[in-house]
Amino acid sequence: AKAAISAYAWFFRGLPVLVLLFLFYFGIFPAMGLDLPAFFVGAVVLGLRGAAYQSQIFRGAIQSIGESQMTAGRAIGLSRWKTIWYVILPQALRLVIPAWSNEPISLLKTTAVVFLIAVQDLMAKAKRAATDTYDPISSYIAVAVVYLVMVFILNEFIKFLERKSRIPGFEMESKKP
């Protein structure tokens, strides 16, 4: 199982998202006899790719918790799984927020390429508007503004999560010159 998970993460992290989209939309799914809508294929590919990245982010956070935490949990009578659930994961989840916060923003921006497999997203609409009006700059500036607003809102939500999960007394102190 460990080798399969590593291979999965290696595959989806190793290929550009555009290659993955084309590979699944034009290759793997049709070869399996599946005629799936472009939106579904885009969602599956972006979901699998995002999960591969997030698995490594969470793995690193869990591994950063010292072995002494497992020993302490076991010493007070918790089972291995209860120690993971009640001791390790709460600490890891607090540690993972800053690194994980990049992933939803990255995923949001990556959705711009799904128009290349005929998904009608913002970029597809902008391209159509640019073609209809002969004014590509205005169309693409509008898309840029929409993405910036969405990223700003998502970023503010993530900052809120960071503040809510912060443990008093464990803030990073800035070095003063």
pLDDT digits (tens, 9 = 90+) for 133-149: 888 889 889 889 988 99
Is 90 exceeded by the pLDDT of residue 36?
yes
- Higher local confidence (pLDDT), 17 or 118: 17
> How high is the pLDDT of residue 2?
87
User: Mean pLDDT score of the chain, rounded to an integer?
Assistant: 87
Query: Taking the model in full, what pTM does it have?
Result: 0.74
3-state secondary structure 46-83: HHHHHHHHHHHHHHHHHHHCCHHHHHHHHHCCCCHHHH
What percent of the chain is modeled with pLDDT above 70?
Answer: 94
Per-residue confidence (pLDDT) for residue 174, from 0 to 100: 44
* pLDDT greater than 80 at residue 122: no
With beta carbons less than 8 A apart as the criterion, state whether 88 and 62 touch: yes
Query: Is the pLDDT at 173 greater than 50, yes or no?
Result: no
